[in-house]
């Protein structure tokens, strides 16, 4: 038998790639996470060093509720910054409108909570639409400065107790007579936690639906190249105004819940530092991603709270002054964490999974 008589061996066919065992569960991950967060108040788990008490203690639930609210605020701000490319330095104004609007209408006007919340939400959205209509006539750094100017006007009005409504520098405690009993008292902190969780779920749902819609694709086009959108016959101004108004309305809704959680309003929420913190949260988590801003907002607020307590602890006081000085300043530690995160994870924490997967595949080839 010659070599020509030998039939060539059939080429080995590659085995079909097996789907990852968790791939079927991936679409349900948000619902599973929501269900886990909803039942968290029933847990008595102790996490020393992470929380000061068990998970279901009022102090821990209060901290988690604050983290949820600011995670949602960061997601709403990302609709403006990450998905539309608008750098606003006045986003805290609409959050403050929700806080002070609710407090003033309940405490000064004597309205029930549901009416005050609805009016505060409507007022925050209207304020965002009116100021956005003016600010969006500019672009770039001019837009950022105009939004900052509007926010500073709001901060001055609050600090000087305009009309005797805001309480000035002392703030305005919430009159709980107009608040349902389920939201009053330490024992009802769990209800406020669930309310904050529902707010987060609503914001994430709205932002995701808008981003996946034709309007969201236009917003992404404005972020990448606004002139191209104009060439296509669309009006970028109108779409930017929609994003600005919706983002402001979501922030005002968070202000309503925050007012209930902290029991009033204080001037610090009107400062531009809050907007800068939201910007840091978005960049830390990952702009224009589904979960990045939420993770960044929650992590930032958790670290801000825990580092404040850690900086005033006896452990830090016992350290040499060269260490105790910086560690006693939460902003210094947060700034260091932010710089390291941006340097090592330029796409934010949301891109960490992708980077680790790429690294794992590169190592497996060796």
pLDDT, tens digit, 9 for 90 and up, residues 161-180: 988 899 999 999 999 998 99
Give the closest residue to 176 by CA, choosing from 110, 269, 253: 110
Q: What string of DSSP letters covers 139-202?
A: -THHHHHHHHHHHHHHHHHHHTTGGG-S-GGG-EE--GGGS-GGGSSGGGHHHHHHHHHHHHHH
State how far Cα 88 lies from the chain centre.
15
Residue 194: what pLDDT?
Answer: 97
Q: Looking at the predicted structure, is the pLDDT value of residue 1 above 50?
A: no
Alpha-carbon gap, residue 138 to 15, rounded angstroms: 57
Q: What is the dihedral of CA 154, 156, 159, 161, to 10 degrees?
A: -80
Residue 166's contacts (CB-CB under 8 Å, 6 or more residues apart) are 100, 104, 157, 158, 159, 172, 265, 267
Q: Looking at the predicted structure, is the pLDDT value of residue 350 above 90?
A: no
Alpha-carbon gap, residue 128 to 109, rounded angstroms: 23
Looking at per-residue pLDDT, the higher value among 52 and 255 belongs to 255
Q: Which helix (H) or strand (E) holds 308?
A: helix 292-311
Q: Looking at the predicted structure, is the pLDDT value of residue 16 above 60?
A: no
Query: What's the pTM value of the predicted model, to 2 decimals?
Result: 0.89
**pLDDT band for position 8 (50/70/90)?**
low
The answer to whether 237 touches 58, Cβ cutoff 8 Å, is: no
Looking at per-residue pLDDT, the higher value among 50 and 122 belongs to 122
Alpha-carbon gap, residue 260 to 92, rounded angstroms: 17
Q: What string of DSSP letters covers 221-235?
A: HHHH-HHHHHHTT--
Give the closest residue to 68 by CA, choosing from 298, 224, 316, 356: 298
Report the percent of the chain where pLDDT is more than 90. Answer: 68
Give the closest residue to 260 by CA, choosing from 202, 201, 178, 203: 178
Q: What is the pLDDT of residues 78-113, one digit of tens each?
A: 999 999 999 999 999 999 999 999 999 999 999 999
The answer to whether 277 touches 300, Cβ cutoff 8 Å, is: yes
- Rounded to the nearest 5 degrees, what angle is found at the Cα of 7, between the Cα atoms of 5 and 13? 170
Decide: residue 224, CB within 10 A, 0-12 exposed, 13-18 middle, 19+ buried: exposed
Tokens found for residue 94: 């609409």
State how far Cα 98 lies from the chain centre.
16
Residue 122's contacts (CB-CB under 8 Å, 6 or more residues apart) are none
Q: What mean pLDDT do residues 310-328 have?
A: 75
User: 265 in helix, strand or coil?
Assistant: strand
Tokens found for residue 280: 């840091």
The answer to whether 120 touches 255, Cβ cutoff 8 Å, is: yes
Report the percent of the chain where pLDDT is more than 70. Answer: 90
């Amino acid at each position: 038998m010659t070599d020509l008589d030998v039939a060539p061996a059939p080429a080995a066919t590659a085995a079909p790639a097996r789907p990852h065992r968790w791939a079927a569960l991936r679409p349900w991950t948000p619902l599973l996470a929501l269900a886990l967060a909803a039942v968290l108040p029933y847990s008595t788990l102790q996490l020393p060093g992470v929380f000061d008490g068990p998970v279901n203690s009022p102090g821990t639930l209060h901290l988690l509720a604050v983290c949820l609210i600011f995670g949602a605020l960061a997601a709403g701000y990302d609709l403006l910054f990450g998905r539309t490319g608008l750098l606003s330095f006045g986003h805290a104004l609409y959050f403050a409108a929700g806080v002070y609007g609710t407090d003033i209408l309940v405490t000064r006007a004597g309205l029930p909570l549901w009416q005050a919340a609805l009016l505060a939400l409507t007022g925050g959205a209207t304020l965002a639409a009116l100021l956005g209509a003016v600010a969006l006539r500019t672009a770039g750094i001019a837009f950022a400065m105009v939004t900052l100017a509007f926010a500073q006007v709001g901060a001055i009005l609050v600090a000087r107790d305009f009309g005797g409504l805001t309480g000035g520098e002392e703030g305005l405690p919430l009159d709980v007579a107009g608040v349902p009993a389920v939201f009053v008292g330490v024992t009802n902190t769990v209800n406020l936690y669930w309310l904050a969780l529902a707010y987060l779920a609503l914001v994430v749902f709205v932002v995701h639906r808008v981003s996946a819609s034709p309007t969201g694709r236009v917003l992404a086009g404005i972020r990448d190249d606004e002139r191209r959108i104009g060439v296509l016959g669309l009006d970028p101004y109108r779409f930017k105004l929609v994003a600005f108004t919706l983002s402001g309305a979501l922030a005002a809704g968070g202000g309503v819940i925050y007012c209930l959680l902290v029991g009033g309003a204080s001037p610090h929420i009107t400062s531009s530092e809050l907007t800068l913190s939201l910007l840091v949260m978005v960049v830390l988590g990952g702009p224009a991603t589904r979960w990045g801003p939420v993770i960044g907002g929650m992590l930032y607020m958790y670290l801000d709270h825990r580092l404040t307590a850690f900086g005033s602890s006896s452990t830090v006081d016992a350290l040499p002054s060269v260490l105790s000085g910086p560690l006693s300043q939460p902003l210094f530690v947060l700034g260091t964490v932010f710089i390291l995160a941006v340097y090592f994870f330029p796409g934010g924490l949301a891109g960490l999974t992708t980077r680790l997967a790429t690294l794992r595949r590169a190592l497996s080839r060796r």
